[in-house]
Amino acid sequence: MKKINVGLIGFGNVGSGVVKILRDKKAYLRDKIGIEINLSKICDKDITAKRNVKVDRALLTRNAEEIINDPKIDIIAELIGGIHPAKEYITAALKKGKSVVTANKALLAQEGRELFALAGDRNKNIYFEASVGAGIPIIKSLREGLVANKFYSIFGIVNGTSNFILSEMSENNRTFKDALGQAKLRGFAERDASLDIEGIDSAHKLALLTYLCFGRLVGLDEIFIEGISEISLADVNYAKELGFQIKLLAIAKKEGDELEVRVHPTLIPKNHLLSSVTGIFNAIYVSSDLAGNLLFYGPGAGQTCAASAVVADLVDLAKDIQSGLFRPTLNVVVDKSIRKLRKIDEIESRYYIRFMALDKPGMLAKISGVLAKFGISIASVTQKERHKAQVVPIVMIIHEAKEKNLRAALAEIDRLGAIGQKSIAIRMEEV
């Protein structure tokens, strides 16, 4: 029986989960795949901290070079996160003839083109299932299960922290601040949660999904990113009254010969499957030519589900090594019908808008007049209850409009003397 040796760099939460699976399920995996996956070495900056899994101290090292330079190690799992030194470790491992498993979406989104090219030149692979959706097998499904498909769109709830916050606001009537506090208290958010709530984490994951589906590895500077920190409890409740839920969506969709790639809060109909995705759960809704519309759903965070995806990649690589096969990680074909990325100003969408207007005669007429000036048509309007300061929320749903026209109209409306605060606009998708 073939034995494949694995070196682990990063013994944190996910790394500990991987060690636990490889230890507890070693015989199960051996019987299932006919290969023994042997954990040869574990590297971490801190090898003395207490963890939920016990290992032989002889396996531990603080020096990643011991693993990278060990000729007996076949696969390296990089689970430290961040750009540096993770990039240097992966680069060195590939040059030493080792394949790599990683969960590092930020690194692959930023440096993936270089790393994938190096892996291909060396006839080695980088597998990264755990980088999107934790244990949801979305990467393998796009690469293999849907290999014959062309894709039209991706709509993803891919950040568990943001989804938990929006769920708390919707289900438990919490303010954004209180919901964020709950996320931190329950371990669903870091002390600095900005990468999650400002949409950066979702954008990293969207970059990888876009590459797999459309063959274009977009940079973060090419993705429109807007987070959820400006979403108020009032907006969440008004959206519910209108039959919608607010979700932070990662969107990539083909429109004619252009590709839209964006992350932002979005109103989606309550009766859509994505509306029912709550808490830390993730879901990716994919539209394709052959398989149609597919929903991938599961926990978007957690030690065991992320570790499960890492182990799945280790198993795939172990089988390839045993068989003497090299299967390129990304059987990506560039969609040549896509000529350019569509800028956010050029997208067309329906919108939810909330104005905070002083309760004066003729205000609604003034607002409607400015919208009409920019060719924006109102689908529905609701004037909500008065506030003590005589400021009245006016909630509108507008028909499809171009983003740049809407933004110009709102800027003009906000300059009206009777608008109490900056107007809020949230895009809508029928999905």
Catalytic residues: 205
Please name which of 139, 138, 137 lies closest in space to residue 126, comparing C-alpha atoms: 139
Omega of the bond leading into 137 within 30 degrees of 0 (cis): no
60 strand-pairing partners: 42
How long is the chain?
431
Cβ count near 411 (within 10 Å): 12
- Residue for token digits 């009245």? 392
Amino acid at 410: L
CA distances to 77, 135, 357 from 309, rounded to whole Å, are 12, 5, 50
| Cα–Cα distance, 20 to 304 (Å, whole number) | 9
| Cα–Cα distance, 105 to 229 (Å, whole number) | 22
- Residue for token digits 């940079």? 219
The phi and psi torsions of 184 (rounded to 5 degrees) equal -70, -40
Collapse the DSSP code of 201 into the 3-class scheme (helix H, G, I; strand E, B; otherwise coil) and give the result: helix
Retrieve residue 246's tokens.
């607010």
Retrieve residue 137's tokens.
């097998």
| Cα–Cα distance, 255 to 81 (Å, whole number) | 34
| Cα–Cα distance, 276 to 101 (Å, whole number) | 32
| Cα–Cα distance, 235 to 250 (Å, whole number) | 20
Structural element, H or E, at residue 117: helix 105-121
| Cα–Cα distance, 61 to 9 (Å, whole number) | 9
Strand order in the sheet with 75-78: 60-61, 35-43, 2-9, 75-78, 99-102, 126-127
Retrieve residue 365's tokens.
């007429």
Dihedral of CA 274/308/312/123: which sign?
positive
Q: Which ranges of 260-375 would DSSP assign to H, the alpha helix?
A: 303-323, 363-373
- Residue for token digits 């984490």? 201
